[in-house]
């Protein structure tokens, strides 16, 4: 990866713990030493179940959540909540719910004018009008005059999400953080929005974080995938490596319960058997619920659900192991394969091939 552009936004060993019951001293271990780098013109997908820490990570990268430990670097410099407005000019977030994220009392014109004016980049009425139209054209809402004076409730879900993306683009950011931004949309327009985001990434060299519970969609859209389980990144690599040669048992379970992306069925939210649903539900059905992060499991956090767990997995934190120079995972099987698991089955290195 030597010829890659330098990261715009980096998280280095970011940890977030929330107090939930001060008297009992209970805390939620929401994020543990999570690191990733976002580079211009590239997308990293952060994949995992609900409650795995994905949104906490995104909020921390947007400076909406103070990390308990670790650092967020923008352009190599430590990010600070004191410079939040300057930071927001460079790092924008688009949320899952286009219905809730746009004020229903305002027309699209107002919703887009605000960030343009707040960030002080408008020179006059004529310039404002030109920028408003250009913004709508960038998100393929054309002709712009059809949308500028509409209220959010007069738009479809996909059109609303395009307005939300246009609002984020109004400040000409370098980084776009997308939190489940297609999951609430009608299945027929998910691909349109992903194609729009891919075009923006390629044409405008935006660095993107794409948060999703859908690993098949991540494969389609992202350059790299980070798989998150119970607040920890357990596997990281190119989208191709992670989906074609998954090294962590949790990633394999996600993939096994996901429709074949080559058939593009994930866009219709269907499993291979034709029923509706996406991967994490299926994992939960088959392997139990995600752990309580107030009392996270000892050792490997995945061990209570892992079909390949060994006795040592309950007590020893698995090491991070490089599978290739572009792909790593945290699992003891990558260090010492060919031993018995807790169910008496033999595990082998075949997991990585």
Binding site for ligand SF4 (CB under 6 A): 248-249, 300, 302-303, 306, 308-310, 313, 318, 331-333
Toward ligand SF4, which CB reaches closer, 54 or 248? 248
Segments in the chain forming alpha helices (H):
54-61, 84-90, 98-101, 108-118, 125-138, 145-148, 157-169, 187-204, 215-221, 239-244, 249-256, 279-287
Toward ligand SF4, which CB reaches closer, 175 or 230? 230
CA geometry: angle 323, 259, 185, nearest 5 deg: 110
Residue 130, SS3?
A: helix
Residue 149: how many other CB atoms lie within 10 Å? 11
- Shortest Cβ 301–ligand SF4 spacing (Å): 8
Give, for 103, the enclosing helix (H) or strand (E): none
Q: Which two tokens stand for residue 51?
A: 């409650």
- Shortest Cβ 258–ligand SF4 spacing (Å): 18
End-to-end CA distance of the chain: give it in Å, rounded.
22
DSSP classification of residue 304:
T
- Rounded to 10°, the helix 108-118/157-169 angle is 20
- Shortest Cβ 350–ligand SF4 spacing (Å): 14
Distance CA 136, CA 148 (A): 8
- Shortest Cβ 33–ligand SF4 spacing (Å): 16
Q: How many Cα neighbours within 13 Å face the side chain of 85?
A: 6
Toward ligand SF4, which CB reaches closer, 99 or 287? 287
- Shortest Cβ 217–ligand SF4 spacing (Å): 24
- Shortest Cβ 25–ligand SF4 spacing (Å): 27
Toward ligand SF4, which CB reaches closer, 148 or 306? 306
Toward ligand SF4, which CB reaches closer, 173 or 318? 318
- Virtual torsion, Cα 228, 84, 201, 122, nearest 10 deg: 160
- Shortest Cβ 289–ligand SF4 spacing (Å): 16
Toward ligand SF4, which CB reaches closer, 74 or 300? 300
Toward ligand SF4, which CB reaches closer, 102 or 253? 253
The full length of the chain comes to 353
């Amino acid at each position: 990866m030597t010829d890659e552009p330098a990261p715009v936004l980096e998280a280095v060993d970011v940890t977030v713990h929330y107090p939930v019951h001060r008297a009992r001293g209970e805390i939620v271990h929401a994020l543990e030493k999570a690191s990733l780098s976002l580079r211009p013109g590239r997308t990293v997908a952060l994949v995992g179940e609900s409650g795995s820490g994905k949104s906490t990570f995104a909020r921390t990268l947007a400076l909406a959540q103070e990390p308990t430990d670790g650092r967020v670097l923008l352009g190599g410099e430590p990010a600070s909540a004191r410079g939040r407005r300057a930071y927001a000019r460079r790092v924008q977030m688009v949320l899952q719910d286009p219905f809730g994220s746009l004020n229903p009392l305002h027309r699209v014109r107002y919703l887009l004018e605000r960030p343009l004016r707040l960030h002080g980049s408008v020179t006059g009425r004529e310039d404002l009008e030109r920028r408003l139209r250009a913004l709508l054209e960038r998100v393929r809402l054309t002709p712009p005059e059809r949308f500028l004076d509409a209220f959010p409730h007069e738009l479809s879900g996909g059109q609303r999400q395009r307005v939300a993306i246009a609002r984020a683009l109004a400040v000409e950011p370098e980084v776009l953080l997308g939190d489940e931004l297609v999951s609430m949309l009608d299945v027929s327009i998910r691909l349109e929005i992903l194609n729009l985001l891919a075009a923006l990434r390629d044409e405008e060299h935006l660095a993107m974080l794409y948060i999703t519970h859908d690993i098949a969609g991540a494969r389609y859209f992202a350059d790299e995938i980070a798989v998150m389980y119970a607040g920890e990144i357990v596997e990281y690599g190119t989208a191709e490596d992670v989906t074609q040669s998954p090294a962590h048992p949790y990633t394999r379970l996600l993939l096994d319960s996901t429709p074949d992306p080559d058939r593009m069925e994930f866009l219709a939210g269907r499993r291979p058997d034709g029923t509706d649903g996406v991967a994490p539900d299926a994992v939960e059905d088959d392997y139990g619920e995600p752990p309580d992060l107030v009392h996270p499991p000892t050792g490997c956090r995945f061990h209570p659900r892992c079909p390949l767990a060994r006795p040592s997995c309950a007590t020893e934190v698995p090491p991070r192991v490089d599978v290739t120079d572009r792909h790593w995972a945290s699992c003891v099987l990558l260090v010492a394969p060919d031993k018995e698991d807790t169910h008496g089955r033999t595990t082998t290195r075949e997991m990585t091939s």
